Chains A and B, each alone.
Chain A
């Protein structure tokens, strides 16, 4: 079955770049059947969709409004991974970050276990 696993630093200093990687097993980051997403959860914001990357004959990206100027999500087909980079981190970026598969048949059907990232000096 499909499994996703997030990895990356648990502590990021303010103004630095928050970087995470999601490793995929049981599916392919270049599939046409799914989109690969980052979603975060914080007590103040609840669940927040940050963005996605997907292939439909070519590669596409879409990003959430609140992070649009700071975010980049990129696939790595050689490692079957995708990454999140969020520049100019602030304490408001603190939260649990999930990598998630969206099945074009409907819904986020597979979630990683989540990784807590704290932005603090």
Chain B
């Protein structure tokens, strides 16, 4: 199984400041034939279902604010919130869909400092 490891486990950032979450896969999730990274990011607020933010590592889902961005390739990926808003308090998960069994990172909790 591909292991997804996120860092840090939790993060406290001041309103308006940048938040960066890292995600590392135990093997490359870049498919060479189409040059796509099989990596997505999800936001889960308390009491809600997870919500898709980013897919193919860097493509924002429709309706997601542009302060959210994804980057990286191969085994190392990042989710950046450029200017943290109060409504961004949540747990964030990365997910690989390169190979089954599909796997998630353990989650990163983002709070307001």
Contact = CB atoms under 8 A, between A and B. Distances in A.
Interface of A: 46-49, 52, 62-65, 98, 102, 105-109, 111-114
B103 to A, nearest CB: 7
B104 A47 contact: yes
Interface stretch (B10-18, B22-30, B52-60, B80-88): B52-60
Q: Which 3 A-B pairs have the closest CB atoms?
A: A106-B55, A107-B55, A111-B49
Contact of B49 (A52, A64, A112): A112
Contact of A49 (B49, B104, B105, B106): B104
A113 B47 CA distance: 9
B86 to A, nearest CB: 23
23 contacts: A46-B104, A46-B105, A46-B106, A46-B107, A47-B50, A47-B95, A47-B107, A49-B101, A49-B102, A49-B103, A62-B101, A63-B101, A65-B101, A98-B49, A102-B97, A105-B55, A106-B56, A106-B97, A108-B40, A108-B42, A109-B61, A111-B51, A114-B49
A106 B104 CA distance: 15
A62 B103 CA distance: 13
Nearest to B91: A46
B1 interface: yes
Interface in B63-98: 93, 95, 97
A107 B50 contact: no
Contacts of A102: 97
Contacts of A106: 40, 55-56, 59, 97
Interface residues of B, number: 23
B100 interface: yes
Interface of B: 1, 40, 42, 49-52, 54-56, 59, 61, 93, 95, 97, 100-107
Contacts of A48: 104
A98 to B, nearest CB: 6
Contacts of B101: 49, 62-65
Given A64-B102, A107-B40, A111-B49, 13 more contacts: A46-B105, A47-B107, A49-B104, A65-B1, A102-B97, A106-B55, A106-B56, A108-B52, A109-B52, A109-B61, A111-B51, A112-B49, A113-B49
